[in-house]
Amino acid sequence: MRLDDGEAPTGPEPTPTPRLVEFPARGNEAPSSWGRRLLIGAVLLWFAALILIPGLALTRQAVAGGLKPLIAALGEPAVQRAFVMSLGIALVATVVNTVFGIAMALVLVRQRFFGRSLIDGVVDMPFAVSPIVAGLMLIVLYGPESGVGGWLESRGVQVVYALPGMILATMFVTVPFVVRELVPILRELGEEYEQAAYTLGASRWRTFRSITLPSIRWGVAYGVTLTVARCLGEFGAVLVVSGNVIGHTQTATLYIAEGIESFHPEGAYAASLVLAATSFVLLVGMDLLRARLERSREVES
């Protein structure tokens, strides 16, 4: 504030009004519009070439002779045994990896210990290692020529070329899904509500059941969905450790491979269509359910 001679201060000077910066007109908006259209078209073309068109081609081939041959192929005992084995392995692997996946996510986010960063990185190892390599590692560890495998077989427990090895192989390739879905959710959630529950006298189990689990339920659901879909579609690791014994250690994916190699693809096409449709229904159904629940919450609020 400036004072002239003989003039008393009358108050603070007015704040100058900020000037708006004017940008030059961009002129024709067509290049930007065309750019967006080209980007959308390129993404849709990429998606169609990799997923949509191959899926439609498989569906067309599977139903080329009509629904009756398709149903007859799915009714064969070998196909049914393969699907029963795939579903059983998927059930066991999903339950175990869900329980321990939740526990590992809580440990990685809530606990501090030496080697935590290393373990956090190694969790993603099944994404980087070929499933065939994973199966080979299990053979080296649990094979009949190894110390562990020989000791187990001497006590009547066969791991490799049997159901336990197939379950271990499937569990190995599906370890990261639940963990990677929950870690970012837990980090964003923080510990404030859990600490408040502890302060009010709640036990750790009650806090987890009443506060933590409801907050991460959608992450668990997505992790479980991805785990089930991956279990049903696993091939490489299971092929190595199972021996592909028809009627004993043959899953649905191994049945498909055997049908293609033996030039009897009818059952392979039918089984492939069922596996692809199951994975599609699981993933899309989960997204639709979540979107519907979010809309209902918005209406209630």
Do 138 and 99 have their domain in common? yes
- Could you tell me if residue 250 is inside a domain? yes
Q: What is the pLDDT of residues 17-58, one digit of tens each?
A: 556 555 555 555 455 688 888 999 999 999 999 989 998 998
Closest CA to 251 of 136, 163, 168, 137: 163
- Could you tell me if residue 272 is inside a domain? yes
Q: In three state form, how does the secondary structure of 197-224 look?
A: HHHCCCCHHHHHHHHHHHHHHHHHHHHH
Question: How many angstroms separate the CA atoms of 124 and 242, rounded?
Answer: 24
The token duo for 203 is: 């036990």
pTM of the model: 0.81
- Could you tell me if residue 276 is inside a domain? yes
Q: 3-state DSSP call for residue 7?
A: coil
| Residue type for position 247 | G
Q: What is the pLDDT of residues 139-175, one digit of tens each?
A: 999 988 888 988 998 888 889 999 999 999 999 999 9
Percent of the chain whose predicted confidence (pLDDT) is above 90 = 42
How many folded domains does the chain comprise?
Answer: 2
Do 230 and 274 have their domain in common? yes
Do 267 and 189 have their domain in common? yes
Do 227 and 88 have their domain in common? yes
Position 1 scores a pLDDT of 46
Position 84 scores a pLDDT of 94
Q: Which helix (H) or strand (E) holds 132?
A: helix 131-142
Which residue is associated with the tokens 């299990």? Answer: 138
- How many residues does this entry show for the chain? 301
Which pLDDT band, with edges at 50, 70 and 90, does 3 fall under?
A: very low
CB 133 within 8 A of CB 127: no
Largest CA distance in the chain: 110
Last residue of a domain, one of 62, 84, 106: 62
- End-to-end CA gap in the chain: 51
- Could you tell me if residue 21 is inside a domain? no
Backbone torsions φ then ψ of 23, nearest 5 degrees: -95, 145
Do 58 and 198 have their domain in common? no
- Could you tell me if residue 11 is inside a domain? no
- Could you tell me if residue 10 is inside a domain? no
Do 43 and 178 have their domain in common? no
Do 52 and 70 have their domain in common? no
Across the range 94-115, mean pLDDT stands at: 93
The token duo for 89 is: 């392995």
Least confident of 45-49, 245-249, 253-257, 285-289: 245-249
Do 176 and 220 have their domain in common? yes
Do 50 and 117 have their domain in common? no
Q: Which domain holds residue 263?
A: 66-300
Closest CA to 230 of 143, 134, 159: 134
Q: What is the pLDDT of residues 181-225, one digit of tens each?
A: 999 999 998 888 888 888 888 888 888 888 899 889 889 999 999
CATH number for position 185: 1.10.3720.10
Position 253 scores a pLDDT of 92
In our burial notation (b when 16+ CB lie closer than 10 A, e otherwise), range 154-181 reads eeeeebbbbbbbbbbbbbbbbbbbbbbb
Do 132 and 51 have their domain in common? no
Do 53 and 97 have their domain in common? no
| Residue type for position 105 | A
Last residue of a domain, one of 41, 62, 83: 62
Do 76 and 208 have their domain in common? yes
Neighbours of 286 (CB within 10 A): 16
- Could you tell me if residue 4 is inside a domain? no
